[in-house]
Amino acid sequence: MFEIESIDHVALAVRDVRRSADWYRQVLGLQRLYEEVWGDYPAVVAAGATSIALFPVEGAQPKGRPGRDTLAMRHLAFRVDAANFARARQALTDCGIVLEFQDHGIARSMYFHDPDGHELEITTYDLTHP
C-alpha cells in the first residue's frame, strides 16, 4: 500500500478568480502561490502545505451551492489553536462576516461563507479557553 503525505489542494469554482484570491488573502491570511507561473488559472492560495486552487466557474449563469441532499463537498475546514480561534472570530466579525458557532464536544467550530457561497469552517480542538 502507498502512503499519502497530505492534502495538496482543494479546487473551488468561483465567479471571479482574482477577487476570490484577494478575499482569501485579506480575510484568512492565506498566501498566494505560483502566480508568476500560472497567473489566475488557477489562482492558488495556501495555508502551510495545503492549498486552495481557484478556478473560474464555467457558464454565464452558475448554479448556486448544492444543498445537503446532493453529493458534493459540504465545507472546507481550517484548524487553529484556541488563541487563533478567538482572533479569527474577532477578525471575521470586524469584516462583517456572519458566523455560525457549533460545539462538537471535542472541538469548537465557526462556519461562514466566501463571496461565492462556499461554506468554510474554522475549528479548534484546543478547548483550554472558553
In the chain the domains, ranked by start, together with CATH numbers, are 1-59 (3.10.180.10), 71-130 (3.10.180.10)
Looking at residue 12, its pLDDT comes to 95
Chain segment 59-78, per-residue pLDDT in tens: 888 888 888 888 788 899 99
Q: Residue 67: its pLDDT value, please?
A: 83
* Confidence check: pLDDT of 130 > 70: no
Least confident of 18-27, 35-44, 72-81: 72-81
Query: How far does the chain reach from its first CA to its final CA, in angstroms?
Result: 42
Handedness of CA 73, 56, 94, 124 (dihedral sign): positive
- The reported pTM is 0.90
Cβ contact 70:28 at 8 Å: no
